Structure 1
Amino acid sequence: MSFKPESAFALLGPDFADAVEPADFPDLTLRWWNKRWADEIGLGDLDDAAKADHFARFAPLEGYPHTPLSMRYHGHQFRHYNPQIGDGRGFLFAQFRDQHDRLLDFGTKGSGQTPWSRSGDGRLTLKGAVREILAAEMLEALGVYTSKAFAVFETGEQLHRNDEPSPARGAVLTRLQHSHVRFGTFQRHAFEDAPERISALIDHAITVYYRHLTEFDGADRATELLRAVVKSSARLAAQWMAAGFVHGVLNTDNLNVTGESFDYGPWRFLPTYQTGFTAAYFDETGLYAYARQPEAVFWALQQFAAALLKVGETDPLVAVLNTFPDTYTAEMTTAFCRRLGVKEQDDSEAMVRALLDFLHKSQLPFEAVFFDHFCADEVRIKAASRNYSGPEYTTFAESFHAHEPDRPERLSHSYFQRPDPVHITIEVMEGAWEPVHEKDDWSELRTLFRDIAEAREGYDLGVGRIGFLP
């Protein structure tokens, strides 16, 4: 497949982004290259020099005419509106079509200062880049529609940070994802009372992401776009819950119109089922705790709908928002069935509730329960050295074993010959990072990357490759 560049966001004009120059880094060392996705989009044949040229110096990709664009947006940060943000240490590098004819983006993190950097240096630490790789790779393995860490270069810079040992090694990340158009992108232009720009963004989102909505006109376009974004966002929240993932910072600038998970800062995976588990040390009230993530997404959707009011009608928009709870419940059931490897049926919602009761009561390792029960193989469940007993388990097991396994042939994969699943609790992540920090030893991280890849192949959930948009 050949690389197929295509401009879309840049054509919206200068009110939506600012042309910027990438930082000039003193030294470049390739630390991550996503060969699987490079092959998928037609860049698998790049040599090392070309990789550095395009994904660290950000020379234009062949056929893409636009300079990097720092995107303009606002956002609610921990529910406080901030009109001073935007792409502060990243930019939209390029857009292109993949082999499924989806428009995809290359966005960056740590690529230098922009008009929206404020007092920041526009840089990313190497540890921060590694955390992005781990989050994206693990989420893809667990069936979450996520951005991909495409390339990471260490930059030779020493950075000073308040929340990790300094000086810290610098890096620049290129992220591959479906869209960087955030809820906050709409909020900015609503704040500036520019309904014509809101209309342009709606037309853009429908034209390039939701083409089945092109038949709608006028205010109906806002309503139907919201309907699509509500569904995709409910699906994302459900997938996070089924993966045991806590994003940490569900501000309106970290949620986008395609319902795709991205921008991984203080994330965590659950060690055990804990509804109040938080990821960010600064989330003192637990606003974005594990079990509050659906609420946070719903609240953000309300802010997105408020921006659409500039061109839409109140009653239809409210009616669409009110579909979120039922949509989320249905998506939650689907996501948990996929994680368990069983086919969804009429009583699956009750099975999921029973599973959550058992997870809460038992406090068994979250990921291990899904690993042991995948595709409902009773031999593997009985062989697991974990305490699957008690009334809560009995209730779950009776419902669970009434479900038909989905593609049980997957259990022949080598991943399911392991005694325990791959998981990334904070202890695992820090343990893999410490040898890099202490002696530049990447062996444990490389092993973890390979283990995650094996999990992705074993579960074979296919979410990242197929996607969800028409």
Structure 2
Amino acid sequence: MTKTPYRPDPAFLSLGDGFADPVKAADFPKTVLRYRNDRAAAEVGLDHLSDEDWLRHFGRFAPLEGNLAEPLAQRYHGHQFRVYNPDIGDGRGFLFAQMRDTQGRLLDLGTKGSGTTPYSRSGDGRLTLKGGVREIIATEMLAALGANTSRTFSLIETGESLHRGDEPSPTRSSVLVRLTHGHIRIGTFQRHAFFSDTERLERLVDYSLKTYAGIEPKGSATERALELLAYATARTAENAADLMAAGFVHGVLNSDNINITGEIFDFGPWRFLPEMDLGFTAAYFDESGLYAYGRQPDAIHWDLYQLGGALADIAPEEELRSVLAAFPQAYMEALRTRLTRRLGLKPMENSVADALFAAMSDFMVSEKCPYERFFFDWYGGPLSEARAKASPIAARYDTEKFAPVRAALMTATPRRANVTGHEYFRGEPCTMLIEEVEAIWAEIAIHDDWQPLYDKIDRIRLMGEALGN
């Protein structure tokens, strides 16, 4: 097999000044490699690196050949729980490198826990080892479920003792590198709008159109701004659908945590649903349930409106609102596609699919159905009836509430004939509930045993193969 060449392309520099600040990485006491994602590295031609070179680049942050000469902490603002905050930016991370993948897309390598920056405020710029482990698990699960997510590229333990108010301290430290299609956030646009810097705002619009949407900027500034907003509307609608279909609760869907390319990233207090519960929250501090599972699409739509507001100095408000109005339909179309794939079915007529998913949601909510269990039991529709009958929750499938769901599933067409033949379906569904996360972390924290984490990653990837993701 032909290896993918490493193709550096530090395109961010073309934006010019005013978008980031050069910074230096922390000098860590030690660097111990805990996780390297060779799958992701192969896509950008970096899988050939020895462990020694890997530590040098992703623990000590020696520049990659032909790439950024120094890391860049990006400037942005954002609404955090609906309160505007002009005092944020990359506070414990930076843009380290950019390169092209196998499809020619520009990808970023960004960090978390790499040290203080001008935006660290009172923070130490560090990442707990547990936080890094949690991000590995979240990104692996989301990717296996077919969601558009950043991927954890590297996790290196750094030998410092960190004190945190929300977990036992002192605790171990780490530095994480993530691979994503882009780190341009809604909050990036908000910052330049805050300073009424129309020139940089227009420059950012043009860069984003060309770099991420693959559209050559042309026409008036208004036309380009509307085109960019239309792109972001489509991609953030897909982002919302990914969260909902995966049963994933992000926890902090602030406008600085939403990028215009629609990837799920910047993980904090995330959770996967134990059971179908629209009011389920991930963050203990989200007392109002602003970012509860069922409110995530509205939260992302609200954030998107903040992008529209940031572009209001370039384009008329009425035209911006017209573009933003496309979000609900785009979201429903994306959700329909994702739920159909999650069930291993071929696309159906919209009315048929909508009736199935409405009945399915009604059943899952009323029965408090284990989220991942349901999709495991019924993957492949009519091909899964025997497996569903052997499920621990089979009795719930005999209820009157489930009858319309069963009827719809029995007439659906599986995506492929052997859709349930994979070895994954001979076991139990792969889940990642908070108890499992804590159990994996306990083995690391108490015994320094990393094998349960690696075993879980193998199981997650097996699921991804079975689901075709």
- Give the TM bin, normalised by the shorter chain: over 0.9
2:456 counterpart residue number: 448
Alignment of 1:32-111 (within 5 A): 32-111=35-114
CA distance in 1 between partners of 2:410 and 2:223 (Å): 45
1:355 counterpart residue number: 360
> Which secondary structure state, in structure 1, belongs to the residue aligned with residue 40 of structure 2?
helix
| TM-aligned CA deviation for residue 452 of structure 1 | 0.8
CA distance in 2 between partners of 1:79 and 1:192 (Å): 19
| TM-aligned CA deviation for residue 216 of structure 1 | 4.5
1:465 counterpart residue number: none
Alignment of 1:253-402 (within 5 A): 253-346=256-349, 347-376=352-381, 377=383, 378-386=385-393, 387=395, 388-402=397-411
| TM-aligned CA deviation for residue 332 of structure 1 | 1.4
| Number of equivalences | 460
CA distance in 1 between partners of 2:167 and 2:342 (Å): 34
Deviations 1:74-104 (A, max 9, x none): 0000000000000000000000111101000
Answer yes or no: is the 8 Å Cα contact 2:212–2:261 preserved in 1. yes
Pick from 192, 206, 211 the counterpart of residue 208 of structure 1: 211
Pick from 429, 436, 441 the counterpart of residue 437 of structure 2: 429
CA distance in 2 between partners of 1:13 and 1:448 (Å): 43
CA distance in 1 between partners of 2:135 and 2:147 (Å): 14
Answer yes or no: is the 8 Å Cα contact 2:344–2:419 preserved in 1. no
| TM-aligned CA deviation for residue 236 of structure 1 | 1.1
1:243 counterpart residue number: 246
CA distance in 2 between partners of 1:42 and 1:134 (Å): 23
> Which secondary structure state, in structure 2, belongs to the residue aligned with residue 422 of structure 1?
coil
Which stretch shows the higher mean deviation, 179-188 or 324-333? 324-333
Answer yes or no: is the 8 Å Cα contact 1:213–1:225 preserved in 2. no
> Which secondary structure state, in structure 1, belongs to the residue aligned with residue 244 of structure 2?
helix
Alignment of 1:224-235 (within 5 A): 224-235=227-238
Pair 1:409 & 2:418 matched? yes
Pick from 155, 159, 162 the counterpart of residue 156 of structure 1: 159
> Which secondary structure state, in structure 2, belongs to the residue aligned with residue 411 of structure 1?
coil
Answer yes or no: is the 8 Å Cα contact 2:93–2:111 preserved in 1. yes
> Which secondary structure state, in structure 2, belongs to the residue aligned with residue 170 of structure 1?
strand
Pair 1:459 & 2:467 matched? yes
Pair 1:26 & 2:29 matched? yes
| TM-aligned CA deviation for residue 389 of structure 1 | 1.8
| TM-aligned CA deviation for residue 65 of structure 1 | 4.0
Cα RMSD after superposing both structures: 1.1
**Amino acid corresponding to residue 127 of structure 1 in structure 2:** K
Query: Structure 1: which 5+ runs fail to align?
Result: 462-470
| TM-aligned CA deviation for residue 215 of structure 1 | 4.8
CA distance in 1 between partners of 2:442 and 2:219 (Å): 54
TM-score (norm 2): 0.96
Deviations 1:7-31 (A, max 9, x none): 2112212200000000000111100
| TM-aligned CA deviation for residue 217 of structure 1 | 3.6
Answer yes or no: is the 8 Å Cα contact 1:198–1:310 preserved in 2. no
| TM-aligned CA deviation for residue 248 of structure 1 | 0.1
Query: Structure 2: which 5+ runs fail to align?
Result: none
Pick from 138, 144, 148 the counterpart of residue 145 of structure 1: 148
| TM-aligned CA deviation for residue 408 of structure 1 | 3.8
> Which secondary structure state, in structure 1, belongs to the residue aligned with residue 418 of structure 2?
helix
Answer yes or no: is the 8 Å Cα contact 2:25–2:114 preserved in 1. yes
**Amino acid corresponding to residue 458 of structure 2 in structure 1:** R
CA distance in 1 between partners of 2:216 and 2:223 (Å): 10
**Amino acid corresponding to residue 399 of structure 2 in structure 1:** G
CA distance in 1 between partners of 2:60 and 2:229 (Å): 37
Question: Runs of 4 or more off by more than 6 Å in structure 1?
Answer: none
CA distance in 2 between partners of 1:354 and 1:115 (Å): 51
CA distance in 1 between partners of 2:217 and 2:28 (Å): 44
TM-score (norm 1): 0.96
